[in-house]
Structure 1
Amino acid sequence: MSHDSSHANGSTAVTDIVGVDLGKRLMRNRKPVNVKAFAMAHNLVMFLASLYMVIETLRQASENFGWGRLGGGGMWGNVAEAPGKPLSPSGHRLARVLWIHYLSKAYEFTDTLIMILKKNERQITFLHVYHHATTFFPCWWSVMNFALGGDTYFTCVVNSGVHVFMYGYYLAAAAGVKVPRAVKKSITTVQLAQFALFFAHALYGAIYATHYRPCIIIVLCLFQALVFASLFGHFFW
């Protein structure tokens, strides 16, 4: 089997799992749907939700880790509250916003739905489907079930910050605003920088922060950061 055919089979398997191929079949003999208003509303929701998650996560992390207080935590190396025990008030509020971020990963499949309805199949690449599918499960599912709190805040803040930029661009473009081409091109660059940060953080956890548990979460983060960097790097090139 050639590399191209094996890659295609892998792509088909992923798209079957998340229902993309079913959507394509349903739209095959139909005209593209005008989803401009729906897409604008979706982009606005994601922009505002992402902005909220950046601000609220930083606010609750600051309180939970004691940033600015003597002996408080730093950017990395913050320990999650003991699993199985009741969370502190600030720990509960931090967990709540992290759960919102986790649920937003499911809502992001709306991006794919819009592409299917528009019959813009060129955009539904293996990169797009793999990115959305594996970020929701197993990545964030594992984190929220086994490593809630602690340095999980960092991934939420960085990813939400990237989405503020990305969905802000989509919203402006959909509204007819003439955005410089350089801004569109920089989206992938910003995403690559995001994965570099995630890899550095996971590497820090593997080498220095030996209190991170379970260790499989660190391995998963390292693996996904490398895969995403490779896929997005190939797309950028």
Structure 2
Amino acid sequence: MTTYMKIFEERISGLSKGVDETVDSWFLMSSPAPVFGVVLLYLAFILKIGPEFMKNRKPMDLKRIMVFYNAFQVCYSIWMCRTSIQESNVISSIFSKKCEINRTREQNLALYSGAWFYFFSKIIDLLDTTFFVLRKKNNQVSFLHVYHHTITVLFSWGYLKYAPGEQGVIIGILNSGVHIMMYFYYMVAAMGPQYQKYLWWKKYMTSIQLIQFVLILGYMLAVGAKGCNMPKTLTFFFVGNTVIFLYLFGNFYRKTYNKNKGIDGSSRTGSSLAQSALRAAGGMGCMPTQTQITSQSQSQGQVQPAKAYIDLNNNSVKPLKVE
């Protein structure tokens, strides 16, 4: 028994040592324990503690908080894209035959610092699900949503700890670029239904995410083919996880947008449309859609088309004034 404990302690001690002792001293980077603790607390809250706490309470009105949160995410993502491009040799990495990049100690630390801020952004992203729970939108806490947030936190930590480099910067830039558009959409949506006329491009958000995964997959396959100085295990994980994301997001897109083309205007169907559309884009705002309401016109008594919106607080579909 003592022998096994000794082996276990040696393995844990080995995991605590990354590629750079300076990185090991940064917040949440000393060992796997802190980041696993954050992830476990996140899962416990969104799956058990949060729903139980909100069970007999009204949904929280987080409109102002969500507008501020999404605005912050847009600015943070812009800053990360700008910093990553400036502090890394991205272009040289893409076009070099063996991805051989020579950096000084200071350049390495600048690259590692950018990777830490990217990792920490994934910790901040966990608030997405927290807002779902506090607003009692538990139907949006889907497997895709939880898996995506959980795996990106763990992977970005492992990448910085054990294998930082330009290869990961490419993925970070692509992901941050998508987040700029995504959180800008959510910010406008959270501002209220009067802004939904500016949200006609909602459907394309999922398409942009799918394009991102295709680009990442192509890049990682090229990295493997060129024999870049990157751990093969990490490359295989990148490829495998990207394929999973492609399948999950692609399936989501197909079910949400293709299925809803023929939806009629009944209240039950309208509610189903609302829930499906919110799941597809992450559910951080309201969605413009079309429905039919029966309106007895004083002159003709005909069914008039009207726009509808999803209220941010109670998730119901409400008709706007007939135009």
Scaled by the length of structure 1, what TM-score is found? 0.82
* Alignment partner, residue 136 of structure 2: 119
Aligned residues, how many?
Answer: 211
- Are 2:43 and 1:18 equivalent residues in the alignment? yes
- Tell me, yes or no, if the aligned pair for 2:99 and 2:228 is still in contact at 8 Å: no
Match of 2:202 among 184, 189, 195: 184
Residue by residue, what CA displacement relative to the aligned partner does 1:122-152 show, whole Å, maximum 9, x if unpaired? 2111100000001111x21221112212221
1:48-197 alignment runs, 5 A limit:
48-62=75-89, 72-74=92-94, 78-79=99-100, 88-137=105-154, 139-176=155-192, 177-197=195-215
After superposition, the Cα gap between the structure-2 partners of 1:150 and 1:142, relative to the gap in structure 1 and judged at 3 Å, is: same
Question: Which letter does structure 1 place at the counterpart of 2:107?
Answer: S
Partner residue, 1:35: 62
Structure with greater contact order relative to length (CA < 8 Å, sep ≥ 6)? 1
User: Once the 2 structures are TM-superposed, how far is the Cα of residue 89 of structure 1 from its aligned partner?
Assistant: 2.0
Inter-partner Cα distance in structure 2 for 1:165 and 1:101: 17
Higher helix share: 1
**Cα-to-partner distance string for 1:19-53 (whole Å, 9 max, x where unaligned):** 22121122111111111111111101111000100
The answer for unaligned runs of 5 or more in structure 1 is 1-13
Counterpart CA distance in 1 for 2:47 and 2:157 is: 24
- Unpaired runs of 5+ in structure 2? 1-38, 255-323
Equivalent position SS for 1:34: coil
| Max Rg structure | 2
1:195-217 CA distance string (max 9 Å, x none): 11111111112222x13321110
Amino acid across the alignment from 1:44 = A
Percent of pairs with identical residues: 27
Shift of 1:184: 0.8
Q: CA deviation at 1:100?
A: 0.1
Alignment partner of 1:18: what SS? helix
Letter in 1 for 2:140: Q
Q: Residues of 2 paired with 1:80 and 1:50: CA distance?
A: 25
Paired residue secondary structure (1:178)? helix
Q: Is the 8 A contact 2:81 2:173 kept in 1?
A: yes
Whole-angstrom distance in 1 between the partners of 2:191 and 2:199: 16
CA contact (8 A) 2:189 2:199 kept: no
Q: Is contact 2:163-2:231 (8 Å) kept? A: yes
Q: SS at 2:217's partner residue? A: helix
Q: 1:16 to 1:55 in 2, by over 3 A?
A: closer
Would the alpha carbon gap of residues 150 and 200 (structure 1) be closer, same or farther in structure 2, given more than 3 Å must change?
same
**Within 1, Cα distance between the matches of 2:105 and 2:40?**
41
Structure 2 distance, partners of 1:156, 1:81, is 20
Aligned AA (1:150): E
